């Protein structure tokens, strides 16, 4: 399992679209979940950069089309959405670029 990259220091962690199996493991162990309207809100520290994030998991799509059922309905992608500085982050994006997949049980 990859060690968490440092969140603080003289140089901020650069933006990189990366994943690691350890990200999901750490998120599953440390994130909290609470009902938030029609969503489940996951909160915790990004397993890559260590900055706080929140990620809503919404079960309903609010538009006038029928959603296509997914074979991986219990597996959800999560992205780092921190607002901390990460050099080389593309304009209009947030986070450090880390992403992982969690299996969600309600």
At 17-54, the pLDDT tens digits run: 999 999 999 999 999 999 988 888 999 999 999 999 99
pLDDT at residue 3 greater than cutoff 60: no
Beta strands in 5-74 (DSSP E): 32-36, 39-45, 52-58
pLDDT at residue 77 greater than cutoff 60: yes
Distance CA 62, CA 37 (A): 13
The structure tokens listed for 53 are: 């994030």
pLDDT of residue 63: 55
The structure tokens listed for 87 are: 């050099």
pLDDT at residue 69 greater than cutoff 60: no
CA dist list (Å): 93 to 20, 21, 70, 79, 100: 20, 23, 27, 11, 17
């Amino acid at each position: 399992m990859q060690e968490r990259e440092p969140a603080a220091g003289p140089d901020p962690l650069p933006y990189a679209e990366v994943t690691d199996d350890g990200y999901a493991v750490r998120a599953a162990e440390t994130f909290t979940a609470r009902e938030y309207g029609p969503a489940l809100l996951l909160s915790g520290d990004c397993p890559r950069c260590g900055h706080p994030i929140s990620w809503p998991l919404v079960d309903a799509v609010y538009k006038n089309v029928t959603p296509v059922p997914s074979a991986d309905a219990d597996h959800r992608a999560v992205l780092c959405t921190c607002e901390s500085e990460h050099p080389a982050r593309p304009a209009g994006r947030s986070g450090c670029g880390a992403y992982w997949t969690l299996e969600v049980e309600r």
